[in-house]
Structure 1
Amino acid sequence: MIKDISPQEFTMDKLLREGFSWPLVFTNGAPVGMRIPEGLTPDVVAKAAGLKSRVEVINCASQEGIQMPLGQFVEYFTGGEKRSLPRGRISAKIYNLIDLEVSHTRLTDLIDAPLLVRQLDWATNLWPRDLLPPIADLPSEQDHTFSYPKTQKYVLMSKAGSFTDFHIDFGGSSVWYHLLSGKKIFFVIPPSEKNRNVYAQWVRSGQHLVFLADEVDECERIEISPGDTLMLPSGWIHAVYTLDDSVVVGGNFLNSLHGEMQIDISILEQTLKVKKSTRYPFFSDLLWFAVRRYAAVLKGRSPNMSQYEIQSISAVVNYLKAYAELSPSVSPVAAKRIYSPLTLLKEVESHVKRLQECATNSGLIFAMNLPLYDRHVESPEIGHPTTAPQLLASPARMANADHVIPMAFVM
């Protein structure tokens, strides 16, 4: 079930032909284009992200979160004075920081996801540039008023004994996960319909009463060590146990190979009444921006698309059609940029049907990243000219992504 893969094997052509359906583990070298600075310690992260920044850490016994300043957590993590911790009792508990997103700190220019992740990621490729904030000059000057999916670059710090119970990453997003130090064990369950139903029942009945792995037919154990990178596809149910104090860099990404699973997980979250604050941010907006992108790149073209990409965008169109027929309004951010949603969906639907009839499994092209004919494309279906989506990382930077920047830069 688990595939050990070399960096050279992890190519776009392989993903388009075979899909991305099983966890991938890189034990003999990092994925191409991944960049993480040397010397990324908890203290460096805290100074770069802001010592006073409020973070939510998980009490591993109750699986509930509490708020504290980042600097305070790092002092706890590195064995600092116990008296600095809340109520003087936290030292007897194990706390786990898994939600520190650093894309709007000084660390953002020092960390890059694997190149293929950046090429696949909807947030990287489709989010409007005018909604992205400038990088703050100082860690304490982060501006949280800008709207964008803060999901691409996380730093996780886990004490030995930390346990994150079984869950599915928000919105069915896929995950890249690089272990800098320590040791972790993942317990992973395939996202079959049967397993998702068992998971849903387990959540409803009280997660702490039963170990979910005992309720399913198949659960596999993955142990990762320093230098290893794990890639988890959309929808996989997983729990994580920390054997040794660990520091991880990773991220979540929606993409055009998993449209159906991403929608299924989003619907499951609604059914389970998952809090909106813990769902993938701007999920519906990204669906609309994906459709807008395909309307632009497929107009007048017949690329040989992967069956996975075709099925994915088809699922997105069908979901948005059902949603738009119930409510003519579009999600808040997309509403300002898409003016004829039903017309847009019909156009992409016709493109997809046309391409399904002539698809083969050789010479495949990832259509989402095809260049637009012009810098601005006039599209009556959208309403007015739209600027071609730009990657958050320039092609030149992507090509040199293995360059290591000294940590002194962030100090």
Structure 2
Amino acid sequence: MEDAPVELPAYETWLQCDVCEEWYHGVCVGISASESKHIDKFHCKKCVGNHGPSLYSRVAPRRSGRQHNHVDYSRLNEGQPATFNQYMLRLEAHEFTADGFDHLENGHTVTAEWLRNRDSNDPFLIEKPQGLGLTMPGSATTVSEIVELIGRDTAVSVMDVLTQEELKGWTVGDWAAYFESADRQRVLNVISLEVSGTALDQQVSRPSVVDEVDLVERYWPAAKRKADKYPRVKTYCLMGVQNAYTDFHVDFSATWVYYHVVWGAKVFYLVPPTASNMRKFESWSRSPEQAVSLFAENVRQCFEVRVEAGNTLFIPAGWIHAVLTPVDTLAIGGNFLVMQSLNAHIGAYKLEARTGVPQRYRFPFFLKLCRYMAELLAR
């Protein structure tokens, strides 16, 4: 009996250029182990100009006609990401499904009853904030002003976009210095800065409908809302530089989420949470191929939605999504649980346990909230 074929992890996949004979990590040139098996002749970036693109043994993956970002491989090999962004290359190569979701002119019709009676579980976009009960910082607010409202010494989790790993030891003051620098050596992102209780929080009111349906607001006893033993997920400040990217994920416990772009823009890549797609996502999340492949390639439809300044996007429970920041952007968002999606929330909580998601990336005190709900509903 023959041994089953072994799929090499991304960091063990190497390709030799058939022209200059130099070797490259698959992850560094954005080619997965599975894709490399179909390459007859590999041409590196330096040799493509004179010898054309790599040749495939079958139809090559579709490439976008748009101009690709310059890849500075010499600096990459020295350990400096420079302008290289492997995620941008994959996104440009993929053909996404056009946004066919509801676009509402304003938020006057967005009520708890409207949410309950919707015919679909699709995301929806609100073009203007009127009627949402939304309060946000002004469009002229700078990152430095945001930092002063939060507190310069406040610790912040910063993500390195190239590796999708967290950088420790940063403060929001450090982040402001990086954001306003004219020479950013790496593409970094801030996506998990919860600001409840800060001066910035006093300038933010989330959509009224969120307060109406949020299970934490409805069932967590007011007398037990202590800062260190209470889900603080209501208000996040998201600050991303151009080409920042967050890879495909499901928000903790499949929470609903709203995003409001104060200035700049965001592009969301959204995959419906069907049973088949969730199985594929779980498999992809556990695979070493995650580092060198685009999840959208595994599913039938992945929608592309652009959210401009002043827009508010709602993403219902469980939608698998990635986020690109095409220009420097300031956004405010928040997570919330709703009764109509309770099965999805519990299912996602179990999925996180199966896939080993660290506790700090899960919905805080989820089981305690479920206990409070059970106690009140049983009365």
- So what's the TM-score if we normalise by structure 2? 0.70
Asked if the contact 1:30–1:229 (Cα under 8 Å) also holds between the matched residues in 2, the reply is: no
* Secondary structure of 1:43 counterpart: helix
User: Deviation at 1:149?
Assistant: 0.5
Matched, 1:167 2:249: yes
Other-structure match for 1:223: 306
Q: Is 1:55–2:137 an aligned residue pair?
A: no
C-alpha separation in 2, matches of 1:112 and 1:232: 18
Q: Is the 8 A contact 2:152 2:173 kept in 1?
A: yes
Say if 1:107 and 1:131 are closer, same or farther in 2 by CA, change over 3 A.
farther
Q: Which amino acid is the alignment partner of residue 114 of structure 2?
A: K
Identify the residue that residue 258 of structure 1 maps to in structure 2: 341
Shift of 1:3: 1.4
Of 112, 137, 146, which aligns to 1:37?
137
SS at match of 1:22: coil
Does the aligned pair in 2 maintain the 1:30–1:228 contact within 8 Å?
Answer: no
Give 2:179's aligned amino acid.
F
Amino acid at match of 2:144: D
Query: SS at the partner of 1:97?
Result: strand
- The CA RMSD measured in Å over matched residues stands at 1.6
Q: 1: CA distance between counterparts of 2:213 and 2:120?
A: 11
The count of residues paired between Structure 1 and Structure 2 equals 276
Matches of 1:197 and 1:227, distance apart in 2: 35
Show CA shifts across 1:222-278 (max 9, x none): 011100000000000000111100000010001111101111111111110111111
**Deviation string, structure 1 residues 123-165 (Cα, Å, up to 9, x no partner):** 22322323335xxxxxxxxxx6x31111000100000010100
Which runs of no fewer than 5 residues in structure 1 stay unpaired? Answer: 83-90, 134-143, 297-411
Aligned AA for 1:79? S
Tell me the equivalent position of 1:94: 187
Alpha-carbon contact 1:20-1:233 (below 8 Å) kept: no
**How big is the shift at 1:31?**
5.0
Structure 2's unaligned 5+ residue stretches are 1-99
> 1:74-109, CA deviations, whole angstroms, 9 ceiling, x for partnerless residues?
1111227x6xxxxxxxx3211100011011212222
Task: Give how far 1:30 is off.
Answer: 4.4
Contact residue 135 and residue 204 of structure 2 kept, 8 A: yes
Distance of aligned partners of 1:286 and 1:40 in 2 relative to their CA distance in 1, 3 Å threshold: farther
Contact 1:20 1:257 in 2 (8 A): no
Match of 1:64 in 2: 165
Paired position in structure 2 for 1:211 = 294
- TM-score, scaled relative to structure 1: 0.64
2:261 to 179, 186, 205: 179
Where do 1:2-401 residues align within 5 Å?
Answer: 2-5=101-104, 6-18=106-118, 21-30=121-130, 32-38=132-138, 39-67=140-168, 68-79=170-181, 91-133=184-226, 146-206=228-288, 207-296=290-379
Q: Which stretches of structure 1, 4 residues or longer, exceed 6 Å deviation after superposition? A: none
1:12: how far off? Answer: 2.1
Q: Give the counterpart letter for 2:351 in structure 1.
A: L
Residues in 2 aligned to 1:162 and 1:37: alpha-carbon distance in whole angstroms: 22
The structure carrying a bigger helix percent of its residues is: 1
Structure 1 residues 47 and 185 mapped into 2: Cα distance closer, same or farther (>3 Å)? same
* C-alpha displacement of 1:20: 6.3
Deviations 1:44-101 (A, max 9, x none): 2211211011111100000000120111101111227x6xxxxxxxx32111000110
Q: SS of 1:203's equivalent?
A: helix
Between the two proteins, what is the percent identity of the paired residues? 29
Contact 1:171 1:280 (C-alpha < 8 Å) held by counterparts: yes
Question: Offset of 1:4 from its aligned partner?
Answer: 1.0
